[in-house]
Structure 1
Amino acid sequence: MPSKIEPFEAAQRFISTQFPRCQAALLAGSVVRGEATATSDLDIIIFDDTLVSSYREAFIESGWPIELFAHNLTSYRTFFEQDCQRAIPSLPRMVTEGIVLKDTDIVEDIKREARALLDSGPEAWSDETIEMKRYFLTDALEDLIGCTTRTEGLFIVGALATLVCEFILRTNRQWTGSAKWMYRALERYDAQAARELVTALETYYQTNETDALIRYVDETLTPFGGRLFAGFSRGKSNET
């Protein structure tokens, strides 16, 4: 791979050669947040009114892997809405943090839309959803309690960590994420809860001891009625 040039210069060069007629472009991602690593790529968003629909494409240029998110001047709103519905505001966050590469007086309005969505937070979980999530957490927790093999335990613990993070965040009307972003969301919301979860996970990974993680999940569920199994029902018809 060719040697890398500065990310902003690489992004501008990419836009000028690949999308010279777009109305606007933003550089987002880890390089903008000052969190870039050796494997980081450039996240670039373009807005082009000639596009029929949104798409995503990967490139390698100027020594950089580039993730392109291409939108026309309205299609991005569908993705804003979808991201908000799943409580993972990837595109609104990218737009909000993005550094302008090109603009024809449209970026600030799009950024304003993104900021408003982020500030409002996701919709609150219904009581029915909370009950269902309690059931899923209980099921995973019981799997861990009954687990007798290290190999299966590794997968159960990973799933349990994701479920309990989601539960904490969504019951407090916080945005979530996937993979590393789930942890970052929890740390941003409650650093102490994030540290305690990591400690419980590390204890399991190093010693196979599950007590700390079981206690953590139980304490998370307690304000909502604790574990749930008997009495849970979905999809049952009331017809006789």
Structure 2
Amino acid sequence: MKLSPELAALKFIAEYFSDCDGALLSGSVVRGEETSTSDLDIVIFQKDLPNAYRETFYAFDWPIEVFVHNFASYNQFFESDRNRARASLARMIAEGKIIREHDFIQKVKKEAEELLEAGPEPWSEETIQSKRYMVTDVLDDFIGAENPKEELWIANALADLIHEFILRTNQQWLGSSKWVYRALLAFNPMFAEKFYEAFHTYYRTGEKKLIIALIDEVLAPFGGRLAEGYSAGK
């Protein structure tokens, strides 16, 4: 029988990183969202490590991703998380379950939780206008598209742009892949459902109206669509 995530993680640490100073088990198995293809995400701290690295293993019937840091390297990744508005390492540490205790782990978890609470760097007015113009430009392509093979990829671009716009203008963390919907859901469940319905309807039927209405709703508080009069670098 396959070992439980926590027991597999404990055995893995004992065998592969026995001299580490602290470790956390994170990811879907901690959130109770694991699937048949889930792996174990383990964040490891080793005080004397020269540099951070990531490595993949298969052990104890589990695929395992390890993120190994010293007592300072995580700061650079936290800063990158904030600048990119994607809380990767910070989220893993904040939600992680401690499987090897160390006083330092509590300190880092607190920092991660504070970073998540603070949110990413806010967009400047210039950035908002630039992104508003980009959304409008791609929306025009979508409305006017006549080739369904091209139109599909325009829709994909719009999904990414509008997810970014609504979250960043509200100083929320972004997602990617399955985390796009999760990020929207964490921000506003009603909007997440509206977003899903708009794009799901389009992908099933080719009907564009819900996507167009959704984008106009998102842009409205910022002046709506932007094309004529926009200038950059003038």
Please classify the TM superposition score into its range, dividing by the shorter chain length.
Answer: over 0.9
Q: Distance in 2 between matches of 1:116 and 1:199?
A: 33
What residue in structure 2 maps to residue 138 of structure 1? 136
What residue in structure 1 maps to residue 61 of structure 2? 63
Amino acid at match of 1:168: I
What residue in structure 1 maps to residue 152 of structure 2? 154
Comparing 164-173 with 225-234, greater Cα deviation is found at 225-234
Q: Which SS does the other structure have where 1:234 is aligned?
A: coil
How do 1:54-203 and structure 2 match up within 5 A? Answer: 54-203=52-201
What residue in structure 1 maps to residue 204 of structure 2? 206
Q: Distance in 2 between matches of 1:235 and 1:49?
A: 46
Q: Distance in 2 between matches of 1:65 and 1:107?
A: 24
Q: Contact (CA 8 Å) 1:166, 1:182: kept in 2 or not? A: no
Structure 1 residue 138, shift from structure 2 partner: 0.8
Q: Distance in 2 between matches of 1:4 and 1:42?
A: 13
Gaps of 5+ in 1: none
Structure 1 residue 75, shift from structure 2 partner: 0.2
Amino acid at match of 1:57: E
Q: Which SS does the other structure have where 2:229 is aligned?
A: coil
Could you give the per-residue CA deviations for residues 170-227 of structure 1, whole angstroms, max 9, x where no partner exists? Answer: 1111111112112111111111111111111121111111011011101111110111
Gaps of 5+ in 2: none
Could you give the per-residue CA deviations for residues 141-186 of structure 1, whole angstroms, max 9, x where no partner exists? Answer: 1111111122222211111111111111111111111121121111
Q: Which SS does the other structure have where 1:178 is aligned?
A: coil
Q: Distance in 2 between matches of 1:117 and 1:10?
A: 29
User: TM-score, normalised to structure 1's length?
Assistant: 0.94
Q: Which SS does the other structure have where 1:11 is aligned?
A: helix
Q: Which SS does the other structure have where 1:56 is aligned?
A: strand
What residue in structure 2 maps to residue 13 of structure 1? 11
Identity of aligned residues (%): 52
Q: Which SS does the other structure have where 2:103 is aligned?
A: coil
* Count of aligned positions: 234
Q: Which SS does the other structure have where 2:111 is aligned?
A: helix
Comparing 190-199 with 227-236, greater Cα deviation is found at 227-236
Structure 1 residue 101, shift from structure 2 partner: 1.0
RMSD in angstroms over aligned alpha carbons?
1.1
Q: Distance in 2 between matches of 1:5 and 1:27?
A: 14
Q: Which SS does the other structure have where 2:184 is aligned?
A: helix
Q: Which SS does the other structure have where 1:5 is aligned?
A: coil
Could you give the per-residue CA deviations for residues 115-140 of structure 1, whole angstroms, max 9, x where no partner exists? Answer: 11111111221100100110111111
Q: Which SS does the other structure have where 1:100 is aligned?
A: strand
Q: Which SS does the other structure have where 1:27 is aligned?
A: strand
